[in-house]
Amino acid sequence: MTSKNEPFLSVGIDIGADFSLMAIALPTQEVVGHSYKILHSSLRSIQGAIDRIRTLEKQHGLTAKIFMESTGIYHYPIYYRMKEEGFEVFVLNPLITHANSNINVRGVHNDKFDAQKIALLGLKPKLKTSVVPSDDVAAVKVLIREYHGMKKECSQYICRLKSQLRQTFPQYLPLFSKVNGRTSLAILSHYTTPDTILAVAPEELITLIVKTGGKGRQSAEEKYNRLKQAALEANSFGHSNVGNTYLIRHYIEMIRIVDAQTDKLLLQIRESVNACPHSQIAHQVALLQTIPGVGFLTAATLVCEMGDFTAFRRPKQLYAYFGLDPKVRQSGNFVGTDLKMSKRGSPYARRSLYILALQSVSLRKNGEPKNPVLRAYYEEKCKSKAKMTALGAVMHKVCNIVFAVLRDEKPFVFRTPDEHREHFAAITKNAA
């Protein structure tokens, strides 16, 4: 491994889906030769790129460092191939490469220029690079992202189902808290239109509601009476055709398919995390689950999106990584006051923290707060701030808790602010 202060050859690789372009720059910021095209489907082409780097290392007496942009999943094969060859390989956040896209006043943008830009960017002394997660973390991370993607897809089908019902049977939606609930989908799949609900025998529909709802005969009869009344009203206000009926059944089938696959994905995520009980990811997931409101999926999402936690030395670094830091607007004497979250970090981790913040300030069925300290903090913020601004402040507090639990590698212990001060004073006194 070369020292940071020693000169080196900077190899920039612009990653593509099927091929990549490689450019090499000297420490003097001079680009050597022409860009080299690497075909991902050709081992000869990949080996040619490696031989080219080795040749230039010998020619100039310098060690090569390789820089590439994080491009979805396409950079992983080249990254690991170069690592196997013994090169130092660094991955750059696209935000960094895009911020340096104006090094050419002509505004040129092509793969050749991008490769040269990355090579020259690699020569910067204080360049920030991304941390590539280990294989066990990367394996769970890709499953979690697919899970969230399928959940989003399911939500889209639910919205489409609602849009069809608003045309054909608008009185149906208020009858169920969730149109994609088991009972609702069972009724719609068997009796799609108001006419079919009116035509079916009462006992048949009531039996179906009892079987799928599990709330008893009396509740099922009440639900049937409301359904029948809604179907009668739909004859006066509502219009359907063969296309609407087909789409309703199609969306129901897709919702069931996606739900079944997400359940399988969640099971696979659990198995992947628990496969090695003594691994770092399993340990960190277990620690985060000691925080009130944090379930398995939230804990696994946060751990996988963070990757290597040792890269974060302060909570503020974690805020920025999750995109919770404010967008600062300042120029000369002007200082912007309408600050918003940058939202430049992981949207999956940010969504998990948002849900966790909501859980922390919510109330139980008996009216007691789930987290009295964060609830009191939220209510105090609401006196002078908008609710979403106050919730953003709670997200920062939750992020502090996540950081402290993983830093200390100890389970969460609930303490009031006064208890925290006493605990800190005791630690300071013992240290002295």
Rounded to the nearest 10°, the torsion over CA 401, 406, 409, 414 is 10
Are 280 and 325 in the same domain?
Answer: yes
Are 353 and 284 in the same domain?
Answer: yes
Are 398 and 297 in the same domain?
Answer: yes
Are 246 and 299 in the same domain?
Answer: no
Q: What CATH number does the domain containing 239 carry?
A: 1.10.287.4070
Of 226, 250, 99, 246, nearest in space to 173 by CA: 226
- Residue 274, classified by CB atoms within 10 Å of its CB into exposed (0-12), middle (13-18) or buried (19+), is middle
**Model confidence at 345: pLDDT above 90:** no
- Of 249, 267, 285, which marks where a domain is finished? 267
Pair type for strands 64-69 and 88-92: parallel
Query: Is the residue at 379 inside a domain?
Result: yes
Average pLDDT over residues 263-280: 92
Q: What pLDDT shows up at residue 311? A: 85
Q: Which segment of 40-44, 258-262, 330-334 scores lowest on mean pLDDT?
A: 330-334
74 with 52: CB under 8 angstroms? no
- Of 132, 151, 167, which marks where a domain is finished? 132
Q: What's the structural domain count of the chain?
A: 3
Q: What pLDDT shows up at residue 3? A: 46
Q: What pLDDT shows up at residue 367? A: 86
Q: What is the mean pLDDT of the chain?
A: 89
Of 302, 311, 312, nearest in space to 281 by CA: 302
Query: Is the residue at 2 inside a domain?
Result: no
Quick one: tokens of 412? 């969460």
Amino acid, single-letter form, for residue 88: E
Say how far apart CA 188 and CA 179 lie, in whole Å: 9
Query: Is the residue at 1 inside a domain?
Result: no
* Residue 173 DSSP symbol: G
231 with 194: CB under 8 angstroms? yes
191-241 residue pLDDT tens: 999 999 999 999 999 999 999 988 888 999 999 999 999 999 988 888 888
Average pLDDT over residues 298-315: 91
Say how far apart CA 76 and CA 130 lie, in whole Å: 13
Q: What pLDDT shows up at residue 337? A: 64
Query: Is the residue at 4 inside a domain?
Result: no
Q: What pLDDT shows up at residue 285? A: 94
Give residue 2's pLDDT band: very low, low, confident or very high (50, 70, 90). very low
Query: Is the residue at 255 inside a domain?
Result: yes
R_g (Cα) of the chain, nearest Å: 29
Average pLDDT over residues 383-387: 90
Return the biggest CA–CA distance within the chain.
88
First-to-last CA distance in the chain? 41
> Which of the two residues, 60 and 331, has the higher pLDDT score?
60
Domain that holds residue 100: 9-132
Q: Which segment of 104-108, 124-128, 254-258, 362-366 scores lowest on mean pLDDT?
A: 104-108
Q: What pLDDT shows up at residue 1? A: 40
193 with 241: CB under 8 angstroms? no
Are 344 and 219 in the same domain?
Answer: no
Backbone angles phi, psi at 221, to 5 degrees: -65, -40
**Model confidence at 4: pLDDT above 60:** no
Q: What CATH number does the domain containing 67 carry?
A: 3.30.420.40
Are 283 and 425 in the same domain?
Answer: yes
